[in-house]
Structures are given as structure tokens and as C-alpha cells.
Homo-oligomer: A and B are copies of this chain.
Amino acid sequence: MSPPHTSLPGTAPTGSQVTVISGGVGAARFLAGLIGAIDHGLIDGLDQAGNVTAVVNTGDDCVLHGLAISPDLDTVTYTLAGAIDPERGWGLVDETWRAMRSLERYVRVRPPESAAAPQWFNLGDQDLATHFYRTARLSEGATLTDVTDEIRRAWGVGIRILPMSDQRLSTIVTIADPDGGTMDVAFQDYFVRLRHAVPVHGVRFDGAAQLSAPAREALGSASTVVIAPSNPIVSIGPIRSLSGVDSLLAARRDSVVAISPIVGGAALKGPADRMMTELGQDASVVGVARLYAPIASVLVIDPIDEHLAADVEAAGMRCVVTPSVMSSPDVARELASVTLRSSG
């Protein structure tokens, strides 16, 4: 067991490839930091964004108004294009909401049993074009992998962005219902409509989706695989649920590095901390280490959690300590740089 340290020696091999297992906002910020680090020459052997691949969760995908919505894919693309709204962390900057606001009159006439005209999931007017394009291309028979690459190019993003699968996998959250029982809801119902303010009894993934061939290749052949600081259960979980992913990662565990999305016992964003507690896990870097130990050898944690480093190592992961709250591009860049150097 090596001691925790803030900086690591070692050089990634020339021509190395990095694959980042990604959710939405946290992963997008990490990826932006990684590109910044590459651009600043901070990562030996990685000299262009084209050597980076993001394998992105699509368990949150949904259909609204007949449109195919892929929230995590879009958050990654928009963030790396520099077009994300910096306040919200999702959606486009300088966005307007005329279409959404115009749904109001229909809410008043829809039958009680109808869920049409949902206003709880905001789609900005500019953002709609992305969903229009994806929906039309999918209906023409294109794969989500194809369309995602087209959208990435449309935004001038240099890294490869791959959906985890070309088939639908739906993250289903079991929550308490008003009668004291439980009920299953789709992820966006839990996350957006209910504002993740209800206790979670369980999470499962519905569908016969398979890891896409390009995603499998990216996870298998990369010199380093990074698990981004995303929700371990509902962002990384769907990707891990695909057949073969955990065994593929376990087989190359020495070159898989994870970044804890839990800092000081709290999720940086979203409900990861509560969700881990509700599902009987420890909402701490130690709980994260227990989840990732089978598939990753290193856990990057924030200095605020340094006192837990020995427990992380006891859980089976080598521990690297570096500031991981990506409050500025500098921090994100340094986090990416340290993460990449910590591998192998």
C-alpha cells in the first residue's frame, strides 16, 4: 500500500489514449480540464484532444414531446464546446424558453390522465435544435453513436464522444409512494420532476442494451481509463450494468483511475450522497472506494478527505490526494493532470 500523495512521478506512454467513463456535469467539467491540461502540455504522451474518448451514460435518456433527449451526451458536448450555461451547468448559454412557456396553455386543457406538455423538464429554444436533429437522424436509421459524433462535430468538439450503447437502457428509480408503499419512476421523473427530493429504495436498469462496439474498443484499448467524478449509482452505474464492462475493467484494473464524486461526505452536485446512504452505502470516499475497488486501482480524493485515505486503501484502492472541487479551469486542469499521472 503506497502512501497518499499529491503528485506522482511517471510518464504516460507516447501516443497513449485515455477513455473517460462519464456522466453529465461533473464528467464534462473533468473532460474540459483534461483538454485544458493537454493543450497546456501538462500530460506527457497525450498531445491532442483526439486521443481522448468519453463513454457517456445514456440511462437518463428519455423521450419528451416525441423528441429523443440525451442529457448527459449534450452536457458533455455543450461543455466542451464552451457553450454550456455556466450558472446552471446544463443547457446553452444565452438560452430562451419560449417553447416551454408556451406549453402552459396546454397544461390547462390536457385530460387528467395525460402527461403531455410536461413543463418540469426545461428544453431551451436553441437546445431544441439538437433534439430535433437527433430525433430526425434516429428516425432515418442512424445509430445514436453516429448522431452523437455528428453533433460533436457540429459543435467543433475535438474529443470522441460515444454513447455507452445504441440501444435504450432506462434507469428506473424505486421511491416511496404517498400510500407508504413504493413506486418505480423513470430517472428524469426522479431527478428533475421530483427534484431528487424523495428517498430512494432502489435503482435498476431496464432494457436489453449492449455496450457499443466503439465503446468496448475505447474501454479495452485505452492506455488509461478514468472514471469521472459522476454519480456512481445513476451515472456510472448504467455503464457498469452493461454486460462485460465490469469484467473488462477488472481485467485492466491497474490502469483504471477513479475520481471521487463525494467530497467531504457530500456530493458536489446532485443526490449521490443521499442516494448512497439510502441504498445502504457509506456516503464518503470510503463508500466510493468500496464501489470501485473491483474495477479501478486508484481513487483520487480531495484534501478534505485525506483523513480517510487509509480507509480508502483498506477498501482496496490506492489513494491520490489532490484538489477535486473543480471551481475553476485551473483546478480542473490540475485534477486531470494528477489523475492521468496517477495511473499505472
Residues in A lying within 8 Å of B, measured CB to CB: 64-68, 96, 98-103, 105-106, 108-111, 114-118, 125-133, 135-137, 139-140, 142, 150-151, 153-155
Residues of B within 8 A of A155 (CB): 105
Which residue of B has the minimal Cβ distance to A129? B102
Contact A103-B135, Cβ < 8 Å, known A66-B68, A128-B128? no
The 5 listed contacts between A and B (C-beta, < 8 Å) are A65-B133, A100-B129, A105-B129, A105-B155, A106-B150
Number of copies: 2
Report Cα–Cα, A137/B115, bound state, in Å.
Answer: 8
Residues of B within 8 A of A132 (CB): 65-67, 99, 103, 116-117
Report Cα–Cα, A117/B130, bound state, in Å.
Answer: 9
Report Cα–Cα, A68/B65, bound state, in Å.
Answer: 10
Report Cα–Cα, A150/B117, bound state, in Å.
Answer: 12
Distance (Å) between the CB of A258 and the closest chain B CB? 33
Flag if A129 contacts B115 (CB, 8 Å): no
Flag if A129 contacts B150 (CB, 8 Å): no
Across the interface, A133 reaches (CB within 8 A) one of B106, B127, B129, namely: B106
Residues of B within 8 A of A142 (CB): 111, 114
Residues of B within 8 A of A101 (CB): 129
Flag if A154 contacts B109 (CB, 8 Å): yes
Contact A154-B96, Cβ < 8 Å, known A67-B65, A67-B66, A114-B137? no
Contact A116-B129, Cβ < 8 Å, known A106-B151, A108-B154? no
Distance (Å) between the CB of A142 and the closest chain B CB? 8
Residues of B within 8 A of A105 (CB): 129, 154-155
Residues of B within 8 A of A66 (CB): 66-68, 132, 135-136, 139
